[in-house]
Structure 1
Amino acid sequence: MTSARVVGVSRDGEHRFSKEPEEAIRLVAGLGVEGDAHFGATVQHLSRVRRDPSQPNLRQVHLIHRELFDEVTAEVGPGQLGENITTEGVDLLGLPRGTRLSVGDAAVVELTGLRNPCVQIDRFRPGLLKQVVATDEDGAVVRKAGVMAVVIAGGVVRPGDRIEVLLPDPPREALAPV
């Protein structure tokens, strides 16, 4: 995983599906991406705010692997699926909960779970939901639309920044939707 890197960074101050590509984003410890609609210590996802606004925000940063774009038939690019950081060379979906990613010179995020995509993804590109949520040969649901994380250490993140994977101590827990 030594070639792991950031290929795109995005944010949006409104609750829209896609996020605008940026030259750089600033991660703030315990809060998320400065200037993004999901910035905050407590839940910011609108449906979760309606249920219980006091819950901790486990979805401060959304990461997607660029390799997903090669798997889907829709033409998509960084930020279009709502992610803040688009990665390359990291098997995000195969990492355990609690994995820390050191990104760039200072930022560190900790993976909290899988993104659970909803019907909005089909509104963006019809048929895309079936391509990012599937079932395996055992009938288990496989979610491919990225992972969620919290910010442990803040810093500026830019395309081209390196990513270092820091696995948690065993026993390790598989990622589940958050």
Structure 2
Amino acid sequence: MAKVLSINISEKKGVIKTPIKEGIFIEEHGLKDDAHAGKWHRQVSLLAQESIDKMIKMGISDLDAGKFAENITTEGIVLHELPVGTRLKIGETVQEVTQIGKECHKGCAIKNQVGTCIMPTEGIFTRIIKGGVIIEGDSIEIL
């Protein structure tokens, strides 16, 4: 079963996000009080623990949730294989996949340390179709 491992937030862009127990996700905006929220196509970022585990195997040991600045850390779902337009029910929310991967910003700490990063190929972005609360452990369902 696919589920939410962590919800992560930051007040500024370009920094590691801090895990929180639950997040309020606002329709057509994103995670309340998160720096990346707003009226655009990348309101929420998701990254699978399975992807993070690949980086751990490459020798980075201190990778906690939020280190890749993802809003939601997932388990049990291959995010980067979901087609753009896929809708996901996560907690009380409905989210639509809008983008797979992204260009890494210059000076990415992880890319500098290991020479590669998973967010550009395996992280995904969604917009909030229906707002609501997401709590650690909530299930993720493909609609």
TM-score relative to the length of structure 2: 0.88
In structure 1, how many angstroms separate the alpha carbons of the residues matched to 2:111 and 2:117?
11
In structure 2, how many angstroms separate the alpha carbons of the residues matched to 1:38 and 1:93?
20
Counterpart amino acid of 1:24? Answer: E
Counterpart amino acid of 1:82? Answer: A
Once superposed, which parts of structure 1, at least 4 consecutive aligned residues long, lie more than 3 Å away? 119-122
In structure 2, how many angstroms separate the alpha carbons of the residues matched to 1:98 and 1:58?
11
Q: CA deviation at 1:131?
A: 4.3
Counterpart amino acid of 1:99? Answer: T
**Structure number having the greater strand percentage:** 2
Counterpart amino acid of 1:147? Answer: I
Q: Is the 8 A contact 1:58 1:149 kept in 2?
A: yes
Question: Considering only aligned residues, what root-mean-square deviation do their CA atoms show, in Å?
Answer: 1.8
User: Bigger radius of gyration, 1 or 2?
Assistant: 1
Q: Secondary structure at the match of 2:99?
A: strand
Counting only pairs closer than 5 Å after superposition, residues 7-156 of structure 1 correspond to structure 2 as: 7-41=5-39, 57-72=40-55, 73=58, 74-75=60-61, 76-104=63-91, 106-120=92-106, 122-124=108-110, 126-128=112-114, 130-132=116-118, 143-144=121-122, 146-156=123-133
Counterpart amino acid of 1:86? Answer: T
In structure 1, how many angstroms separate the alpha carbons of the residues matched to 2:126 and 2:51?
18
Q: Secondary structure at the match of 1:6?
A: strand
Identical counterparts, % of pairs? 32
1:169 aligned partner: none
Q: Is the 8 A contact 2:84 2:100 kept in 1?
A: no
Q: Secondary structure at the match of 1:143?
A: helix
- Please list every run of 5 or more consecutive structure 1 residues that lacks an aligned counterpart in the other structure: 42-56, 134-141, 167-178
Q: CA deviation at 1:132?
A: 2.4
What is the aligned length? Answer: 139
Residue by residue over 1:89-134, the C-alpha shift from the partner in whole angstroms, topping out at 9 and shown as x without a partner, is: 1110111011111011x2011000123141456324634452427x
TM-score relative to the length of structure 1: 0.72
In structure 2, how many angstroms separate the alpha carbons of the residues matched to 1:31 and 1:153?
10
1:161 aligned partner: 138
Q: Is the 8 A contact 1:17 1:120 kept in 2?
A: no
In structure 1, how many angstroms separate the alpha carbons of the residues matched to 2:46 and 2:126?
8
Q: Is the 8 A contact 1:121 1:128 kept in 2?
A: no
